[in-house]
Amino acid sequence: MDKSQQIGNQGLGGLAYTGSLDETLIRKRLSANKIGRSIKLFDSIDSTNKKAKKMAAKGAIEGSIIIANEQVEGKGRLGRTWVSKKDTGIWMSIILRPEFAPIHAAKLTVISALAVSQALYGMIGQRMLIKWPNDLVMNGRKICGILTGLSADRGKIHYAIVGIGINVSSRRGDFPPELAESASSILLETDRIVDRNELVAEILNSFEELYLQFTRTGDFTGHRAAYRELSVTLGKRVRVLRPEQEFEGLAIDLTDTCTLLVRQDDGRTREVLAGDVSIRGTGGYI
Ligand code: BT5
């Protein structure tokens, strides 16, 4: 059922406030069994990923969720900041204990991106697209970022933390000036107020399905196909920004381990493991 409201840009006023997260309301729509078995909800926290790490180190079970209405030290990759203003989005981390080898860890980022995109599509029929490796965008603006962290040694994952940040009802003034062009929210891009509790539940439902599909069968081909359909990166000319060297080329595919294959102008194909990729010729952030 689509309970989101269609609203015009003018009358937002206080309407964009969609209330606080509520475990009972999340559970009402949750059909996943494993993911979401434990939900720890905070009104304000430093970072859900930081908390998840501590809980995982103390033995928290797979599928535990840490979620907050506000993060005051939200983290992006490489020590960057993730803006997480109160009640405007979903700031959540999932604790996982996968039995696969660490080389497959980037699949968790892809699974998360697919889960977020599918969940929103199911609710309002609009798609978020995936910008490799960890962003979801609408109309070229970043709506969601994913941060996957790992504790592993000798080929074994002790635990993985998947952190998902989604701007749901943020308005322009909720972002600092330096993000004015690049960041946006579901509300700003679609004019829809999406219920955060329902979106959390739908993401967990999709995540569980995609996660179990892979962990039970070892088969990632369906996920890759879904990724290719939602990718804004594949088939585009990209600039790969890496500390040691920058280069340009054509993004040709996502590999089985979720690295990006880029064909340089001299015909050489390079595999990009992680890093920042900007898409050429689109202007703006992506
Ligand atoms: C990410 O890093 O995109 C990963 C973000 C993960 C956030 C979640 S929230 C729950 C969990 N707990 C945490 O503490 N973190 C995770 P990266 O690709 O490095 O992008 C970070 C960059 O995105 C920043 O340097 C800004 O330029 C931009 N940014 C920051 N906040 C943003 C926001 N709310 N919306 C869009 N862009 C943002």
pLDDT (tens, 9 = 90+) of the chain, 286 residues, equals 444 444 433 334 445 456 789 999 999 999 999 999 999 999 999 999 999 999 999 999 999 999 999 999 999 998 999 999 999 999 999 999 999 999 999 999 999 999 999 999 999 999 999 999 999 999 999 999 999 999 999 889 999 999 999 999 999 999 999 999 999 999 999 999 999 999 999 999 999 999 999 999 999 999 999 999 999 999 999 998 877 778 899 999 999 999 999 999 999 999 998 777 777 755 556 6
Coil/strand/helix, residue 56: helix
Q: What distance in Å separates the CA atoms of residue 90 and residue 71, rounded to the nearest whole number? A: 10
Cβ contacts of residue 73 below 8 Å, gap of 6+? 46, 47, 50, 81
184 lines ligand 1 (CB under 6 A): no
Going by alpha carbons, the residue nearest to atom 2 of ligand 1 is 76
Phi, psi of 134 (to 5 degrees): -140, 20
Residue showing tokens 């000319």: 237
The ligand 1 atom nearest the CA atom of 68: 10
Span from the CA of 143 to the centroid of ligand 1 (angstroms): 9
Q: What distance in Å separates the CA atoms of residue 65 and residue 67, rounded to the nearest whole number? A: 6
Locate 182 and state its tokens: 């690049």
80 lines ligand 1 (CB under 6 A): yes
The ligand 1 atom nearest the CA atom of 78: 19
Query: What DSSP state is assigned to residue 75?
Result: B
**pTM of the prediction?**
0.93
